[in-house]
């Protein structure tokens, strides 16, 4: 074998080794990138599911939670989902894609880890990905655990590996027929360009394209690589758009559900639950900064007569009108809520007892002035208001509410249509 032939085979061997190394690197990086992308997408998806699931658990709506899980199981069946479970803090199943698993206890280590942490946890198990996220809506209500299959992603990578591997093998056979003269210009430079492009694609730069190559065979190979890169880019873009769209839809649905969860359906005011959340938050702020805070309890006088005389629709209309009048002069920092029945409760941050009494008197006077003067209700509409303030009447939410409630009943016993504190007239 002459020196020319030896050099040719040496160059070909080196080039073949480089191509083999590049292909291995490409598929290793491609697989790693696809698996990371697969995990990231599904983490976002499960996190979005966790927010929605928390709302159902917070409302103790296990039927709605079951419907949500069943719907997700059906809609994500083609998205590699194996199963989905919502568990409480004892790992007891609240909802599962397999309905027979309801109320059973999951003993999986990852489930225990997910329950004990406030962040997302995940684990690879063979061809499966397990993800656990906390289900939060204000506070943590449950934990969502989902299993996904890698088989579709692995199969796609395997097909790509076989296709590109076949293309590289054909390229090596082509190089074996190339003469030493012109090897650098005709083969090595184009191959180097192709290798660099493939490496960048493997690193995740899917917008990279191989420039046109003069050789017909290498040109076809570059087109194949470009088509592969375009297909991968399109697939990733489609997945990102699908995840973004699903996340947006779930976020919007969660926002609507969250608003419904804290709003009274009749008056549009905040409900009992939201009132207690704000009361506790403002009380902690008042304790920390040593600032005053007021609580009002408002009750409609002789409301039962309106229902008995005019019917419940008239009573509902009175409550809606009353909500408008009571909330009209409050500050943005104040909160008024329908506490129950015909009772309303008000939180007044940064408010002394004298200021709280003034607010209550304005409310009482506004109701008397704006809801009377016609025969609509067949009786005079007035309210009795009890006033309690921090720290004089209590340092806990329960104590303040009890003091305001006692003052309100004292106003009732003293003749109604008045503002009272626990110590007597305001």
The answer to whether 313 and 382 are in contact (CB under 8 A) is no
The Cα 29–Cα 44 span in angstroms is: 22
Torsion angle of C-alpha atoms 112, 118, 119, 124, degrees rounded to 10: 0
Known active-site residue 151: no
The Cα 304–Cα 300 span in angstroms is: 9
The Cα 261–Cα 425 span in angstroms is: 37
Catalytic residue among 324, 342, 350, 375: 342
Beta strands 335-340 and 383-390 are unpaired
Beta bridge partners of 231: none
The answer to whether 202 and 229 are in contact (CB under 8 A) is no
Residues that are catalytic: 342
């Amino acid at each position: 074998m002459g020196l020319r032939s030896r050099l040719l085979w040496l160059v070909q061997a080196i080039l073949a080794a480089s191509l083999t190394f590049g292909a291995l690197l490409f598929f290793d990086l491609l697989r790693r990138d696809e698996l990371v992308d697969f995990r990231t997408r599904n983490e976002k998806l499960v996190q979005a599911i966790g927010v929605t699931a928390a709302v159902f658990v917070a409302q103790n709506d296990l039927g709605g939670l079951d419907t949500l899980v069943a719907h997700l199981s059906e809609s994500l069946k083609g998205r590699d989902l194996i199963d989905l479970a919502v568990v409480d803090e004892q790992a007891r199943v609240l909802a599962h894609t397999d309905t027979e698993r309801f109320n059973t206890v999951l003993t999986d280590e990852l489930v225990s880890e997910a329950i004990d942490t406030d962040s997302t946890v995940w684990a690879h198990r063979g061809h499966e990905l397990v993800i656990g996220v906390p289900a939060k809506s204000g506070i943590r209500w449950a934990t969502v655990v989902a299993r996904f299959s890698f088989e579709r992603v692995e199969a796609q990578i395997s097909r790509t590996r076989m296709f590109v591997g076949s293309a590289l093998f054909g390229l090596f056979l082509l190089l074996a027929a190339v003469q030493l003269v012109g090897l650098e210009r005709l083969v090595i430079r184009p191959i180097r360009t192709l290798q660099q492009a493939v490496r960048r694609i493997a690193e995740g730069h899917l917008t990279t394209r191989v420039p046109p190559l003069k050789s017909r065979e290498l040109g076809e190979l570059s087109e194949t690589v470009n088509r592969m890169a375009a297909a991968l880019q399109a697939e990733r873009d489609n997945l990102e758009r699908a995840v973004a769209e699903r996340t947006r839809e779930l976020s919007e649905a969660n926002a609507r559900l969250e608003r419904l969860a804290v709003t009274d359906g009749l008056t549009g005011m905040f409900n009992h639950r939201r009132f207690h959340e704000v009361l506790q938050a403002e009380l902690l702020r008042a304790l920390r900064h040593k600032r005053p805070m007021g609580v009002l309890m408002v009750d409609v006088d002789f409301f039962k007569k309106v229902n008995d005389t005019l019917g419940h629709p008239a009573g509902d209309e009175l409550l809606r009108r009353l909500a408008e009048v009571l909330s009209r002069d409050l500050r943005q920092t104040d909160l008024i809520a329908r506490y129950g029945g015909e009772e309303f409760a008000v939180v007044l941050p940064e408010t002394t007892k004298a200021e709280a009494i003034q607010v209550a008197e304005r409310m009482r006077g506004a109701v008397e002035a704006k809801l009377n003067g016609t025969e609509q209700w067949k009786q005079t509409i007035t309210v009795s208001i009890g006033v309690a303030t921090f720290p004089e009447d209590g340092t806990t939410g329960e104590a303040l509410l009890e003091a305001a409630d006692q003052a309100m009943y004292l106003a009732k016993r003293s003749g109604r249509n008045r503002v009272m504190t626990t110590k007597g007239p305001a």
